[in-house]
Amino acid sequence: MSNYAFLVDANKIPLNPIHPAQARKLLDSGKAAVFRHYPFTLILKRVVENPMIHPLTLKIDPGSKVTGISLVTDQDEVIWGMELEHRGELIKSALDSRRAVRRGRRNRNTRYRKARFLNRNRPQGWLAPSLMHRVITTETWVKRLCKFAPIEEIRQELVRFDTQALLHPEISGCEYQRGTLLGYEVREYLLEKWGRKCAYCGAENVPLQVEHIHPKAKGGTNRISNLCLACEKCNTKKGIKPIEQFLKKKPDLLKRILTQAKQPLKDASAVNSTRWALFNRLKETGLSVGVGTGGQTKYNRVRLGLPKTHWLDAACVGITEMLHLLTDRILKVKATGTGGRQRCQTDKFGYPVKHRPLRPIFGFCTGDIVRADVPKGKYKGTFTARICPMSDGRGEFVIDKKRRSTRLDYCTPIHRKDGYSYAF
């Protein structure tokens, strides 16, 4: 089952997404043409008067590394899905590298200058670039999908983990803790924190139980910092022993568990830092925005018997009675960035190798996805890949980890560089 194809009319007004078989019929009959490959969109060659539109709900499961997005109809049918991989860690490492170079230069050239480190004011609501990137890329794709599909409502998983409720289980105002969602928030948090494996033996893909590090029979509490995950064998073996006695022959493991138990979840912190910024950005679209919790999402997924994937988590956001999956081949998008501004390409030692112009070469830019129809020669055939154009009228490709070269005259652009890579 493939993703449904988006459809717009001659005035670029979004219509109902259509089944892949119907899309092939429109293309074969010449009534439509390919408007965009990623996401795949067709454009009709006529204007549709008074179309019958069935509104869609765009559901988002924001994540630290990957964000899941799904489109659901009013009949609870999941017709389209994608997973957006962020590049927050790459941005952070690039900024750290730039900061190190800048500090080294200032220490060498201006070591007698008076230090100035309290002369900057950050505006209210400021987020680090690596975090703001997650908000901006998600917002970009929401606006992009609104151009191709009749989206009426957005649902966002606003709270992945309610840290206040986790630290203080008796806190009031959290209705999901007293209903059928009891325990889902805590268990999901522990699964993420301990890597979905036993804290004592490292066993994976086995049933895991919530374990008290300091036994409850010895005065241990239910605070999240006193909980971990253990397999049935380790949990039974430990019993009510203090962890110091249980791991007295494994001091390194004891130290690691006690340290990890006190550490906050890094990915959860990133999601909690960006959730309200993303929510406010989505409100600016003018669409109705609903919210849900991570515990509610997992409860829906477990109840419906769905596998753990980002796009299916997105489909389970909010109040969901039933879901009918009409697709299983989703679009996987990876944020790669648009490239640097460095014109002089250097080798690993820093010596200049060649000049990299920022302007297009014969209408092509580095990173454009093209289809090459090579009629003769060593690389005869048809293939699709990203191109690196040269000033001599040739272009380079990398296919199966092998570099190929052909004339730009044989290339037809399919998708212009936009800072993302695509796969299915």
**Three-state secondary structure readout of 256-278:** HHHHHHHCCCHHHHHHHHHHHHH
Which positions ≥6 away from 274 have C-beta within 8 Å? 62, 127, 131, 132, 134, 135
Q: Distance between CA atoms of 370 and 380, rounded to whole angstroms?
A: 16
Give the span between the Cα atoms of 197 and 205, in whole angstroms: 7
Joined together, the tokens standing for residue 59 give: 């559901």
Instruction: Tell me: pLDDT of 189 over 80.
Output: no
Q: What is the pLDDT of residue 123?
A: 86
Q: What is the pLDDT of residue 179?
A: 41
Q: Which CATH architecture has domain 56-87+127-160+271-335?
A: 2-Layer Sandwich (3.30)
Tell me, what's the pLDDT at 1?
A: 66
DSSP designation for 170: T
The per-residue pLDDT of the chain, averaged, comes to 86
- Side chain identity, residue 315: A
In the chain, what percentage of residues exceed pLDDT 70? 93
How many whole angstroms separate alpha carbon 139 and alpha carbon 409?
A: 37
Tally of CB atoms within 10 A around 343 = 11
Residue 11: partners with Cβ closer than 8 Å, 6 or more residues away: 47
pLDDT at position 104 is: 87
Whether domain 165-262 has CATH 3.40.1800: yes
Residues ≥6 apart with Cβ < 8 Å to 309 = 68, 83
Identify whether the C-beta of residue 214 lies closer than 8 Å to the C-beta of residue 220: yes
pLDDT digits over 269-301, tens only?
788 788 889 999 999 999 999 998 888 888 899
Q: What is the pTM of this model?
A: 0.77
Q: Check whether the bond before 39 is cis (ω within 30° of 0).
A: yes
The pLDDT assigned to 369 comes to 92
DSSP string, 329-350: B-EEEEE--S-----EEE-TTS
Q: What is the pLDDT of residues 345-386, one digit of tens each?
A: 778 787 888 777 777 888 898 889 999 998 988 888 888 889
Residue 247 has pLDDT above 80, yes or no: yes
d(CA 153, CA 160): 20
For residues 226-252, give the mean pLDDT: 90
Q: Where in the chain is the domain with CATH 2.30.30?
A: 344-415
pLDDT confidence of residue 183? 57
pLDDT at 68: 95
Q: CB of 229 within 8 A of CB of 191?
A: yes
Strand, helix or coil for residue 205? coil
Q: Beta-carbon neighbour count of residue 60 at 10 Å? A: 25
* Residue 224: per-residue pLDDT: 79
Is the pLDDT reported for residue 262 higher than 90?
no
Rounded to whole angstroms, the Cα distance separating 217 from 407 reads 76
Residue-level length of the chain: 424
Mean pLDDT of 109-116: 83
Between 16 and 224, where is the model more confident? 16
Q: DSSP letter string over 52-120?
A: ----EEEEEE--SSEEEEEEEETTSEEEEEEEEE--HHHHHHHHHHHHHHHHHHHHHH-TTSPP--S--
Rg (CA), the chain: 26
Distances (CA, A) of 415 to 100, 197, 259, 387: 37, 42, 48, 11
Highest mean predicted confidence (pLDDT) among 100-104, 115-119, 342-346: 100-104
Q: Which CATH class is domain 344-415?
A: mainly beta
How far is the first Cα of the chain from the last one, in angstroms, to the nearest whole number? Answer: 12
CATH 3.40.1800 in the chain is located at 165-262
Contacts of residue 370, defined as CB under 8 A and 6 or more positions apart, other chains included, come to: 364, 384, 385, 386, 387, 395, 411, 412, 413, 414
